[in-house]
């Protein structure tokens, strides 16, 4: 089956810093690809390249088989690439509902009654129906994460990019977030960057590990987490290498 999103040989440098080094990966419908890697590995830069914020110096990005490498950020949003940000970016003085409504209107292209109903439905889906009328800035962290997700979902994306959405949450809150992401996964292609690796392992079908913009491992979560190169670079673990014979 054709992947929803395909990145082929993406490369990008900023001066001497390589953020993406001939990186290829794909994600299919109802699938979640996890991305891990140390701070500064180039994870958010990958999202910026997928979302059209920065241009790759080589490589291409295909959405449902169509090359979108030259498309602008707003075109890609309309074509179905939604994202949440590492630092949530709600309009703090607007209510949760108004935030999602704004996304449904300006990103999702909806209007009138339809936009209102859809915004409320999306809030409900993301567990925020009871707090629809509270200013976004007054919400506790887990609800701000839910709102960040709801704003991205209001665009009815085909591909959902989640950048460290579990960061800063308690264990119990991470559990709620896992349930929420599992509940919206069907029909979507999700790419999830996360340092909270047990959360990622609970949701991701595959994990891609990168360092200095380069792929160091890819596969089933357990296999990638156990990979020697991943353990050495990502966890800083010193491993005994089994001797031969």
Asked if residue 62 lies in contact with residue 68, where contact means CB atoms within 8 angstroms, the answer is yes
Shortest Cβ distance from residue 144 to ligand ATP (Å)?
Answer: 18
d(Cα 219, Cα 129) in Å, to the nearest integer? 37
Closest approach, Cβ 168 to ligand ATP, in A, equals 13
CB atoms within 10 A of CB 133: 9
Closest separation in Å from C-beta 18 to ligand ATP = 8
Q: Does 37 bind ligand ATP (CB under 6 A)?
A: yes
Pairing of strands 159-163, 66-67: unpaired
In this structure, what token pair is assigned to residue 175?
Answer: 């559990």
* Per CB under 6 A, 226 contacts ligand ATP: no
Stretch that binds Mg ion, among 15-23, 40-48, 49-57, 134-142 (CB under 5 A): 40-48
Residue 85, SS3 per DSSP: coil
Q: Are 45 and 12 in contact (CB under 8 A)?
A: yes
User: How far apart (Å, rounded) are the C-alpha atoms in residues 220 and 47?
Assistant: 21
Tokens of 224: 């990638």
Closer of 47 and 97 to Mg ion (Cβ) = 47
Give min distance, CB of 17 to ligand ATP, in A.
Answer: 5
Hey, what are 206's tokens? 């595959």
Angle at 117 between CA 111 and CA 122, to 5 degrees: 105
Q: How many amino acids of this chain bind ligand ATP (CB under 6 A)?
A: 12
Should residue 191 be labelled a site residue for ligand ATP when binding is judged by CB under 6 A? no
* Cα separation, 52 vs 76, whole angstroms: 7
Site string for ligand ATP, 98-137 (x = CB under 6 A): ----------------------------------------
- Identity of the residue, 126 or 209, whose beta carbon is nearer to ligand ATP in the bound complex: 209
Residue 44 touching Mg ion (CB under 5 A)? yes
Of positions 40, 109, 137, 175, contacts ligand ATP by CB under 6 A? 40
- According to the binding rule CB under 5 A, does residue 45 interact with Mg ion? no
As a whole number of angstroms, the longest Cα–Cα distance in the chain is 72
Torsion sign (Cα): 165, 170, 176, 182: positive
- Please choose which of Mg ion, ligand ATP, none residue 45 contacts, taking the beta carbon within 5 to 8 angstroms, the exact cut-off set by kind: ligand ATP
Give residues in contact with ligand ATP (CB under 6 A). Answer: 14, 17, 19, 37, 39-45, 86
Give residues in contact with Mg ion (CB under 5 A). Answer: 43-44
């Amino acid at each position: 089956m054709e992947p929803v999103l395909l990145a082929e040989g993406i490369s990008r440098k900023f001066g001497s810093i390589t953020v993406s080094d001939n990186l290829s990966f794909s994600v299919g419908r109802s699938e979640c690809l996890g991305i891990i890697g140390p701070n500064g590995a180039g994870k958010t830069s990958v999202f910026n390249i997928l979302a059209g914020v920065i241009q790759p110096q080589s490589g291409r990005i295909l959405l449902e088989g169509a090359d979108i490498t030259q498309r602008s950020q707003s075109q890609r949003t309309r074509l179905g690439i939604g994202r949440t940000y590492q630092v949530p970016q709600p309009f703090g003085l607007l209510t949760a509902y108004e935030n999602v409504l704004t996304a449904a209107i300006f990103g999702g292209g909806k209007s009138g009654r339809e936009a209102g109903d859809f915004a409320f439905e999306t809030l409900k889906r993301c567990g925020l129906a009871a707090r629809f009328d509270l200013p976004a800035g007054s919400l506790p962290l887990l609800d701000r994460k839910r709102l960040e997700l709801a704003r991205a979902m209001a665009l009815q994306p085909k591909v959902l990019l989640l950048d460290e959405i579990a960061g800063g949450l308690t264990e119990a809150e991470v559990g709620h977030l896992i349930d929420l992401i599992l509940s919206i996964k069907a029909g979507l292609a999700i790419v999830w960057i996360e340092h909270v690796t047990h959360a990622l392992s609970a949701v991701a079908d595959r994990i891609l590990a990168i360092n200095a913009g380069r792929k160091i491992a890819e596969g089933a979560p357990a296999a990638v987490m156990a990979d020697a190169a991943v353990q050495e670079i990502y966890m800083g673990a010193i491993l005994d290498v089994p001797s031969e014979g």
